[in-house]
Amino acid sequence: MAAYVLRRLALFVPMMIGIVAVTFGIMQLLPGDPAAVLLGEDASEEAVREMRRALGLDRPWWMRLASYYADLFRGEMGDSYFQNQPVANAIAQRLVPTLEVAFVALLISIVLGVALGIAAAVRRGGLVDAASMLFAQLGVSMPVFWFGILLMYLFAIQLDLLPSIGRGPPLLFAFGQALAGRPAALGESLMHIAMPALTLGLTNAAVISRLVRSSMLETLGQDFVRTANAKGLRPARVVFVHALRNALLPVVSVIGLRFGALLGGAVLTESIFGWPGLGQLAVSAISQRDIPLVQGIVLTFAVAFAIVNLVVDLLYAVIDPRVRLE
């Protein structure tokens, strides 16, 4: 196990080197000069040249790439051009909101997806099945940002039930407050997170519901379930205890990768709901040519993605003894 984890971690290294190089290459190709953007349209050429020197952009590209690797090796990601603070700080401020909304979205999609999947499998061929599979198809066919805007229109504007934009108190903090008997913050926090998380979770819920349905159908057809049925166990018990446990195994295996998709999907969702996360920061960093910040964000996404996958693989091996880590 430890050797496996080490080997997986070792694979991070070439991936990171590659990601830095590809990002750097793309940013090199981007037309536009960070120094000119930074100084604004009324800057003189002389001022732009001075700024380029101050930012170190006057050095040849290979030198800048090499020094970035060197910085990274020392655990440094440099300073953001536009934010007057280290990249690490800028990312730290935005990572938590993104993880927050991705996590809630994952939760929603698992609950919704599993419930629909089970209902569809148990009532196979019936109305529930048809409805939930229609949902599954529509959920992956709908542009996410359109869904988000429709939600906002309905719940924030027409019904005035939810705040249309922004983030409430940090979820963990609000949770702590609630445990201490002050639930107001949690309510506030959840009201804000509801629409972004639902938007982000929609596609996922659809994917998971299909997965659960087919995996349930397979399991329900297997011997041990038939045996359980034959032994006269209550149907609910058969479904929820015996079949579900087995049916959920493949779900666990995809959750890690879906979590990665959620992190990526956050770009659009965050833009719509003014959610102060990494996705929105990524878009603005690219459109400002804030090279160190783009590098940092891409690396953060990649590391988060890799770690979640590793954890899921480990978890999977723990849950399902048939799986061996190789």
Partner 1 sequence: MMRIRPISCAALVSAALAAGPVAGEQIRLGADVDAGTLDPRVMRDTTAYRVNNLLYDGLVQLDASLQPRPDLAESWTNPEPTVWIFTLREDVWFHDGSELDADDVVFTFETILDPDLKARFRSLFTPIETIEAVDERTVKITLKEPYAPLLSYLDMGIVPRDYVEGGGDLSSNPVGAGPLKLANWERGTKIVLEPFSDHWSGAPEIDGFEFVVVGDNTARAQAFEAGDLDIIQSPLSPQDIGRLVADDRFSNAVMGGLGITYLNINVSDPLLGDAGLRKALSMLVDQDTIVNQIYEGVDQVANSILLPSSWAYDPSITQPGFDPEGAKAAFAAAGWTDSNGDGILDKEGANLGIVLSTHSEDPNRIQALEYIQAIMLENGVDASISISDWPAFSAGVRAGEHQIALLGWLNIVDPDRLMYAQFHSSGTLNWGGYANAEVDGLLETGRASIDVGDRTKAYRAAARIIAEELPYFVIAYQGYQVFHTDAVTFEPDARGMMRTAIGK
Partner 2 sequence: MRHRGGNLSLIVGGSIILGVLLFVALGPLVSGYEVDQLDMRNRLQLPSSEHWLGTDNFGRDLWTRMAVGARVSIAIALSSVGIAVVVGSVVGLVSGYFGGWLDLVIMRIVDVFLGFPPIVLALAIVAALGPGVVNLSLSLAAVFWTEYARVVRSVTLAQREADYVTSAVALGASNARILFREILPNVFGPVIVLATLGLGTAIIAESGLSFLGFGVEPPTPTWGWTLAYGTRYLRAAPWLSTVAGLAIMITVLGFNLFGDGLRDYLDPRGVARRVRRTSRT
Interface positions with partner 2 (CB under 8 A): 11, 14-15, 18-19, 22-23, 26-27, 29-31, 137-138, 140-146, 149, 153, 207, 211, 254, 257, 260-261, 263-268, 271, 279, 282-283, 286-287, 294, 297-298, 301-302, 305-306
- Judged by CB under 8 A, the chain residues 125 through 184 that form the site for partner 1 are 152-153, 156-157, 160, 163-167
Q: Please give the Cα distance from 15 to 304 (Å, whole number).
A: 13
Among 109, 215, 219, 280, interactor with partner 1 by CB under 8 A = 280
Measured on CA atoms in the order 165, 166, 170, 172, is the torsion positive or negative? Answer: positive
Among 204, 209, 288, 295, interactor with partner 1 by CB under 8 A = 288
62 contact partners, CB below 8 Å, separation of at least 6: none
- Answer with the entry of partner 2, partner 1, none that 282 interacts with (C-beta below 5 to 8 A by kind): partner 2
- Answer with the entry of partner 1, partner 2, none that 186 interacts with (C-beta below 5 to 8 A by kind): none
- Answer with the entry of partner 1, partner 2, none that 4 interacts with (C-beta below 5 to 8 A by kind): none
Query: What minimum distance in Å lies between the beta carbon of 157 and partner 1?
Result: 6
Of residues 44 and 141, the one with the C-beta less far from partner 2: 141
Half-sphere exposure of 265 (CA within 13 A, CB side): 26
C-alpha closest to that of 77 among 286, 303, 295, 287: 295
Number of neighbouring beta carbons within 10 Å of residue 55: 18
Q: Please give the Cα distance from 54 to 73 (Å, whole number).
A: 23
Of residues 147 and 189, the one with the C-beta less far from partner 2: 147
Q: How many residues comprise the chain?
A: 326
- And the tokens for 268? 């659009």
Query: How big is the chain by its Cα radius of gyration, in Å?
Result: 24
Q: Is 24 in the site for partner 1 (CB under 8 A)?
A: no
Name the strand (E) or helix (H) holding 66: helix 61-73
Phi, psi for residue 79 in degrees, rounded to 5: -105, 145
- Answer with the entry of partner 1, partner 2, none that 164 interacts with (C-beta below 5 to 8 A by kind): partner 1
- And the tokens for 263? 């992190």
Of residues 86 and 183, the one with the C-beta less far from partner 1: 86
- Answer with the entry of partner 2, partner 1, none that 38 interacts with (C-beta below 5 to 8 A by kind): partner 1
Query: What minimum distance in Å lies between the beta carbon of 137 and partner 1?
Result: 29
Asked if 205 contacts 212 with a C-beta cutoff of 8 angstroms, the reply is: no
Name the strand (E) or helix (H) holding 240: none
The span from the first CA to the last CA of the chain, in angstroms, equals: 9
Task: Select the span of 33-41, 109-117, 182-190, 229-237 touching partner 1 (CB under 8 A).
Answer: 33-41
Query: What minimum distance in Å lies between the beta carbon of 207 and partner 2?
Result: 7
- Answer with the entry of partner 1, partner 2, none that 140 interacts with (C-beta below 5 to 8 A by kind): partner 2
Query: What minimum distance in Å lies between the beta carbon of 154 and partner 2?
Result: 11
Q: Please give the Cα distance from 288 to 57 (Å, whole number).
A: 15
Query: What minimum distance in Å lies between the beta carbon of 232 and partner 2?
Result: 26
Specify the DSSP class assigned to residue 237.
H
Torsion of CA 161, 162, 163, 165, to 10 degrees: -140
Among 5, 15, 19, 36, interactor with partner 1 by CB under 8 A = 36
Q: How many residues bind partner 1 (CB under 8 A)?
A: 50
Contact residues: partner 1, CB under 8 A? 30-34, 36-47, 50-51, 54, 82-85, 90, 93-94, 97, 152-153, 156-157, 160, 163-167, 271-274, 276-277, 280-281, 284, 287-289
